[in-house]
Amino acid sequence: MALARGAGATVAALHVVEHRALVSPFGGRASADLGAEMELGRHATREVANLGAFLGVEVGPEVHTGSGGGAAEEIVHFAMAGGCDLILLTGEPRPAGEGLHCGRTVSQVVRTARCPVAVLIDKRGQGLEAAAPGP
């Protein structure tokens, strides 16, 4: 938000739900989970919009379902279609030999995006959500 405020930019808070319909052993499909996942995404993007409003930054909250290519493809497509100047992701470091690996989605976005990509990782390696101060 500080970068956006300093640059006079707007923020698109995108949450992508990768939903794979499960087939129940009793013949139905487990589609109720999609609604719950979408609601979590709406809540998360509303929180980002609230933070933006507090800091004087315009935020457009959006929740999408991953197209056939999944979350990474949806993020890159959204950024290209919207003319985004920067993609900012959070990542959790995962052991990968000598290097740092932040997961399939982050890796694919970094490799395929046409604009710069920044990945935020908590210093303690716990992800940003775990780094928030307690009550």
pLDDT category, 69, cuts 50, 70, 90? confident
Whole-number Cα distances in Å, 57 to 40, 64, 80, 81, 88: 22, 22, 21, 21, 16
Domain span including residue 109: 68-135
- Higher-confidence residue of 126 and 90: namely 90
Residue 118 and residue 61 share a domain: no
Residue 52 and residue 79 share a domain: no
Please say whether the beta carbons of 42 and 88 come within 8 A.
no
Question: For the chain, what is the domain count?
Answer: 2
Residue 37 and residue 88 share a domain: no
Per residue in 3-47, pLDDT tens?
A: 899 999 999 999 999 866 665 566 555 555 778 889 999 999 999
Domain end, chosen from 46, 65, 84, is at 65
Residue 73 and residue 135 share a domain: yes
Residue 114 and residue 59 share a domain: no
Q: CB neighbours of 133 closer than 8 A, spacing ≥ 6?
A: none
